[in-house]
Amino acid sequence: MRNQVENEQAEPAGPAKRAERRQPGVTGAERLLLVLTALAGHGKAMSVKDMLAATGLAQSTLYRQVALLKRWGFVAEDAGCYAPGPISLQLALGFDVNSMLVDASRDGMMQLSQTTGESVGLIVAVNDQVICLEMIESTHSLRCSFEKGRAVPLRAGASAKSLLAFMADKKRADALQRQFADDGAARAALEAELERIRARGYAISDGEVDPGVWGVSAPVFRRASRRGGASASITLMAPSSRAAGREQQLADWTVRTAGAISARLQSA
């Protein structure tokens, strides 16, 4: 790694360099965050090739960021692959201990899971991704869940559509522009669906993210005015076969749970 960093000035302006130029205004600190975000969302150790593709950084720039993150314990290396390091774990533990949103949601999520027998997640939108902050697992041997910390694109599935539908208007418009910059028809179709979700109060999907998984998601608001948009969504997940025939009942329970959590946050 050291030799590659030292040879940075001699590196040709190849595809990675061109990719990096497509991110105008990205500062040195933001390059570090690009690397950390890529590692956090990948779910397993990443090769250099994977990291280059995910971050759009030049190879020499990537190596420099990784070297710094390794030195501080945010990144660990094993056999040429990279993953979040032990300091990242400390951050995660600190988040679990101090997150008001998770704390305010946990009891309601537990009750919803016990009532329905299904898995329940607390989901947020960050950097055009859907991320699971907390998960209460179903006790059924056949169950569906969204692994805590897992991230998927903010465009499909009940969680993503609930978060988009109840997002502040400008933030939603910007997110849709990034997600559908080259597909106006898909964006228009989704915007029409989001309007229906806002009118109904919740989103439903079946097999959009994972085959055979049905989900319903309802928004959680920190403020009664709702002008700032939803802070998170409560999502109930079940095998499609087990949800069949009781979709409305599951949706009603999920909406009531999200409302109770919102009330708790607003009274804190």
Mean pLDDT computed over 58-86: 83
Instruction: Give the pLDDT of residue 246.
Output: 95
pLDDT at 95: 59
Q: For 193-205, what is each residue's pLDDT tens digit?
A: 999 999 999 999 9
- Of 223, 210, 214, 217, the C-alpha closest to 264 is 223
User: What pLDDT, in 10s, does the model give residues 2-21?
Assistant: 333 333 333 333 333 333 44
The mean per-residue pLDDT over the stretch 155-167 comes to: 94
d(CA 139, CA 146): 15
Query: Mean pLDDT, the chain, as a whole number?
Result: 83
Domains by residue range for the chain, with CATH: 2-89 (1.10.10.10), 99-267 (3.30.450.40)
- Distances in whole angstroms, Cα of residue 183 to Cα of each of 18, 120, 136, 165: 24, 32, 36, 19
- Which pLDDT belongs to residue 96? 58
Task: Check residue 113 and give its pLDDT.
Answer: 96
Give yes or no for residue 243 having a pLDDT over 90: yes
